[in-house]
């Protein structure tokens, strides 16, 4: 199929932040062949490419992107016994629901994490305990520089908390994911999906103009970990404390810059209250970052990708 490259496509509607300018060039792709074709097009034009998928963990600059935006959305999936093989652009929630209808699950707690299966693998998305790495058998990826394709085993994906090999190596574009699920009753799977989404709505972490948690939970010095454990009565995991807790402690909950706010319900969400620019978000993030560093000696790092 010949590629349909469009020009000056607004990106804000394709992101959950609903912020940012247009893509100079833009193409919708689903398959590895289409991604390969898009990369060749960008190379021939001598312009950069940027991968955008579900748009739920990105901040697009107000100026837009002088690049070819390769929009990986949609695709095919198939089942082989307990395994699910899905193109990177498949929607995560749709896959969870479809698998559930076949009596395969175990990953229902990931329901409601917006975005694609490819995006989830790249950031090792997780919620309420499980992470996508718990289900990944292998990942097919295409190297944008060499054209090579490779099947990465779970261990080669180098997963850790909100991290994978692909986060450090943006030249590798995820094209397909193979997952192993467990047999489950269809009714239980449906119930777990609904329950998880209700819980997310209750916690105000669903359907907001944000990119999810803006910062990853940072590794903190021992005394900060102890402060957290004493105050919350729970153990810190891997030496990390919740970024939202630090933001609240620093007095930054509800802080605003322009149309951007550190959410009152979930301070680690920077929310577009309407009309926020990417500069508002970046300025607010910078203020939070330096306050946390000054007050607690802890360095925060963005989870959201600043495109």
Helix, strand, coil % over all residues of the chain, rounded to 5:
35, 30, 40
Our CB check for ligand FAD shows the closer of 69 and 227 to be 69
Our CB check for ligand FAD shows the closer of 100 and 118 to be 118
96 touching ligand FAD, by CB under 6 A: no
Q: Which tokens sit at 15? A: 């992101």
d(CA 175, CA 88): 5
Is the separation of the CB atoms in 129 and 106 below 8 Å?
A: no
127 touching ligand FAD, by CB under 6 A: yes
DSSP one-letter code for 307: -
Footprint (CB under 6 A) of ligand FAD, residues 231-260: none
116 touching ligand FAD, by CB under 6 A: yes
Residue 120: CB minimum distance to ligand FAD, A? 4
Footprint (CB under 6 A) of ligand FAD, residues 188-207: 205-206
Residue nearest to ligand FAD (CB): 119
105 touching ligand FAD, by CB under 6 A: no
142 touching ligand FAD, by CB under 6 A: no
d(CA 123, CA 133): 10
Q: Which tokens sit at 212? A: 């999810």
Q: Which residues are designated catalytic?
A: 162, 213, 303
Is the separation of the CB atoms in 141 and 150 below 8 Å?
A: yes
Which residues are CB-neighbours of 131 under 8 A, at least 6 positions away?
Answer: 124, 125, 159, 161
Our CB check for ligand FAD shows the closer of 175 and 291 to be 175
Footprint (CB under 6 A) of ligand FAD, residues 64-83: 72
Choice from 20, 30, 32, 54 touching ligand FAD (CB under 6 A): 54
| DSSP labels, 164-198 | -HHHH-TTEEEEEEEEE-EE--HHHHHHHHHHHHH
225: left (phi over 0), alpha (psi -120 to 50) or beta: alpha
The interface region with ligand FAD, picked from 37-45, 77-85, 111-119, 228-236 by CB under 6 A, is: 111-119
Size of the site for ligand FAD (CB under 6 A): 33
d(CA 210, CA 284): 13
Question: Mask of contacts with ligand FAD, 205-234, x by CB under 6 A?
Answer: xx-x-xxx----------------------
Our CB check for ligand FAD shows the closer of 205 and 227 to be 205
Which contiguous run of DSSP H or E holds residue 62? none
Residue 296: CB minimum distance to ligand FAD, A? 24
Binding residues for ligand FAD, rule: CB under 6 A, are: 16, 51-58, 72, 88, 113-116, 118-120, 122-123, 125-127, 166, 173-174, 205-206, 208, 210-212, 305
């Amino acid at each position: 199929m010949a590629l349909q490259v469009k020009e000056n496509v607004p990106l804000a509607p394709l992101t959950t932040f609903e912020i940012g300018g247009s893509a100079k060039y833009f193409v919708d792709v689903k398959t590895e062949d289409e991604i390969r074709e898009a990369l060749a097009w960008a190379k021939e034009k001598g312009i950069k490419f940027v991968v955008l998928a579900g748009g739920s963990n990105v901040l697009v600059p107000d100026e837009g992107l002088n690049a070819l935006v390769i929009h990986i959305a949609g695709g095919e999936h198939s089942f082989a016994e307990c395994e699910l093989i899905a193109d990177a652009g498949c929607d995560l929630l749709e896959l969870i629901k479809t698998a559930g209808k076949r009596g395969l699950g175990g990953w229902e707690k990931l329901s409601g994490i917006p975005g694609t299966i490819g995006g989830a693998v790249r950031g090792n998305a997780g919620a309420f305990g499980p992470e996508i790495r718990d289900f990944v058998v292998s990942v097919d990826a295409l190297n944008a520089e060499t054209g090579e394709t490779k099947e990465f085993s779970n261990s080669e994906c180098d997963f850790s908390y909100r991290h994978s090999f692909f986060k450090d190596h943006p030249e590798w574009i995820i094209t397909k994911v193979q997952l192993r699920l467990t047999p489950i009753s269809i009714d239980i799977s449906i119930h777990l999906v609904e329950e998880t989404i209700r819980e997310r709505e209750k916690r105000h972490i669903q359907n907001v103009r944000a990119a999810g948690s803006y910062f990853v939970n940072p590794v903190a010095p021992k005394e900060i970990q102890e402060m957290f454990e004493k105050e919350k009565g729970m153990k810190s995991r891997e030496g990390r404390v919740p970024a939202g807790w630090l933001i609240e402690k620093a007095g930054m909950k509800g802080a605003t810059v322009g149309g951007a706010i550190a959410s009152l319900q979930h301070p680690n969400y920077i929310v577009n209250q309407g009309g926020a620019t990417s500069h508002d978000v970046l300025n607010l993030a910078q203020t939070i970052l330096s306050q946390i560093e000054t007050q607690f000696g802890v360095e925060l790092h963005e989870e959201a990708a600043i495109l």
